[in-house]
Chain A
Amino acid sequence: MHAGNYFADALGDTPKAQRWMNVLNTATGPEVQLKPKTAKCYAPQFARAIQKSPRCSAWRRHLTFMNQMPRVRGANFGKWVPVCCNAGRSNRDTREAKKMLHRLLASVVLLMASTTAQAEFDPLPVDEIAPGIFVHLGASELMTSANEGAIANVGFIVGGDAVAVIDTGGSVNEGKKLLAAIRSHTDKPIRYVINTHGHPDHVFGNAAFQSDSTTFVGHRNLPRALATRGHFYIDSFRRIMGDELIKDVVIVPPTLLIDDTHELELGGRPLKLRAWSTAHSDSDLTVVDTRTGTLFAGDLLFLAHIPVLDGSLRGWLKTIDDLGKVDARRVVPGHGAVSDWPAALSDERRYLDRLGSDVRALVKAGKPMTAAADTAAGSERSRWDLFDDYNARNATAAFSEIEWE
Chain B
Amino acid sequence: MLRHPARLLGLAGLLVAMQFGAALAPAAAADPYDPWPGLVQDIFNNRDMNDGSGVIAIEMPYRAEDAAIVPVTLRSVLAPDDLRRVVAITLVIDQNPSPMAARFELGTAASVSQISTRVRVNNYTDVHAVAELSDGKLYVAKTFVKASGGCSAPAAKNPEEAKARIGQMRFRQFARSGEGPTSGTREAQIMIGHPSNSGLQMDQVTQLYVPAFFVNELRVWQDDAAVLAMQGGISISEDPNIRFTYVPNGAKGVRVEARDTEGHVFRNEWQVDNSGM
Partners in one complex: yes
- B-binding residues in A (CB < 8 A): 1-2, 4-5, 8, 21, 25, 30, 33, 40-41, 44, 48, 51-53, 56-57, 59-60, 75, 77-80, 82-88, 91, 94-95, 107-108, 111-112, 115, 142-143, 145, 199-201, 221, 223-224, 226-233, 235-236, 238-240, 242-244, 251, 253, 278, 281-282, 308, 310-312, 315, 366, 368-370, 373, 389-390, 392-393, 396-397, 400-401, 403-404
Could you tell me if A87 and B100 are in contact, using CB atoms closer than 8 angstroms?
Answer: no
A111 — which chain B residues lie within 8 A by C-beta? 15, 19
B211 contact set on A, CB distance < 8 A? 86, 88
With the chains together, A397 CA to B148 CA distance in Å?
A: 13
Q: What are 8 A-B pairs at a CB distance below 8 A?
A: A86-B209, A86-B211, A227-B210, A232-B67, A239-B28, A308-B150, A389-B150, A400-B241
A25 to chain B, nearest CB (A): 8
Check B148–A82 contact: CB distance below 8 A.
Answer: no
Asked if A44 and B200 sit within 8 Å, CB to CB, the answer is yes
A393 to B64, CA, bound (A): 8
CB distance from A31 to the nearest CB of B (A): 9
Q: Are the CB atoms of A30 and B71 closer together than 8 Å?
A: no
Partner of B27, one of A4, A201, A244, A253: A244
- Chain A residues whose C-beta falls within 8 Å of the C-beta of B154 in the assembled complex: 232
A56 touches B149 (CB 8 A): no
Q: Is B80 located at the chain interface by the 8 A CB criterion?
A: no
Query: Nearest Cβ in chain A — how far from B19, in angstroms?
Result: 5
Given A88-B209, A142-B150, A228-B155, A251:B204 Cβ within 8 A:
yes
Q: Are B147 and A84 in contact (CB under 8 A)?
A: no
Q: Are B153 and A227 in contact, with the CB atoms below 8 A?
A: no
Task: Please report the C-alpha to C-alpha distance between residue A108 and residue B27 in the assembled complex, in whole angstroms.
Answer: 17
Determine the chain A residues whose CB is within 8 A of the CB of B19 once the complex forms: 108, 111-112
Asked if B200 and A40 sit within 8 Å, CB to CB, the answer is yes
**Inter-subunit contact B208/A88 (CB<8 Å):** yes
- Contact: A77 with B216, CB < 8 Å? yes
Do residues A85 and B7 form an inter-chain contact, with CB atoms below 8 A?
Answer: no
With A1-B14, A51-B35, A311-B158 already in contact, the answer to whether A369 and B71 are too (CB < 8 A) is yes
Q: Contact at B118–A232, with CB atoms within 8 Å?
A: no
Known: A77-B216, A310-B157. A199 touches B42 (CB 8 A): no
B254 contacts the other chain (CB 8 A): no
Bound-state CA distance A397–B69 (Å) is 8
Assess whether A75 is in contact with B6, with CB atoms less than 8 Å apart: no
Q: Are B39 and A232 in contact (CB under 8 A)?
A: no
List the A side residues contacting B152 at CB < 8 Å: 310, 393
Q: Which residues of B contact A315 (CB under 8 A)?
A: 158
B181 located at the interface, meaning its Cβ lies under 8 Å from any Cβ of chain A in the complex: no
B79 within 8 A of A: no
Q: Which residues of B are interface residues toward A (Cβ below 8 A)?
A: 1, 3-4, 6-8, 10-11, 14-15, 18-19, 22-23, 26-28, 30, 33, 35, 38-39, 41-43, 45-46, 61, 65-67, 69, 71, 97-100, 103, 116, 118, 122-124, 147-161, 165, 168, 170, 172, 174-175, 191, 193, 198-205, 207-212, 214, 216, 231, 233-234, 237, 239, 241, 243, 261
Inter-chain CA distance A337–B267, complex, in Å, is 52
| Given A87-B209, A278-B157: A33 touches B71 (CB 8 Å cut-off) | no
9 cross-chain pairs, A with B, having the tightest CB-CB distances, nearest first: A244-B26, A82-B98, A242-B27, A393-B65, A84-B199, A199-B151, A229-B153, A2-B7, A366-B174
The secondary-structure label for the interface of chain B is loop
Q: Which residues of chain B are near A281, meaning CB under 8 Å?
A: 151, 157
Select one of A75, A108, A223, A308 contacting B15, CB under 8 A.
A108
Once bound together, how far apart are the Cα atoms of A59 and B42, in whole Å?
A: 8
| Partner pick for B157 among A143, A311, A370, CB 8 A cutoff | A311
B39 A86 Cβ-Cβ under 8 A: no
Chain B residues, Cβ within 8 Å of A229:
153, 155
| Chain B, Cβ-Cβ closest to A76 | B216
Least CB separation from A243: chain B residue? B28
Let me know if A33 and B150 touch, CB within 8 A.
no
Closest to B217 in A: A77
CB contact under 8 A between A52 and B26, given known A80-B100, A86-B199, A227-B202: no
> Quick one: closest B residue to A397, CB to CB?
B66
Instruction: Find out whether the CB atom of B153 lies under 8 angstroms from the CB atom of A373.
Output: no
Alpha-carbon distance between A199 and B157 when the two chains are bound, in angstroms: 12
Q: Name the contact of A82 in the complex, choosing from B8, B210, B233 (C-beta under 8 A).
A: B233
Bound together, the chains give a CA A82 to CA B67 distance in angstroms of: 20
Least Cβ–Cβ distance between A56 and chain B, in angstroms:
5
A223 near B204 with CB under 8 A, answer yes
For B65, list chain A residues within 8 Å (CB).
373, 392-393, 396
Does the CB pair B243–A368 fall under 8 Å?
yes
Q: Are A78 and B103 in contact (CB under 8 A)?
A: yes
> Contact at A228–B153, with CB atoms within 8 Å?
yes
Complex formed: what's the CA distance from A253 to B168 in Å?
33
* CB pair B149 A236 closer than 8 Å: yes
In Å, the complex CA distance between A30 and B66 comes to 38
Q: What CA separation (Å) do A201 and B33 show in the bound complex? A: 30
Q: Does A253 contact B45, Cβ atoms closer than 8 Å?
A: no
Taking a contact as CB atoms under 8 Å apart, the answer to whether A232 and B172 are in contact is: no
A30-B7, A85-B200, A393-B66 given as contacts; is B100 within 8 A of A77 (CB)? yes
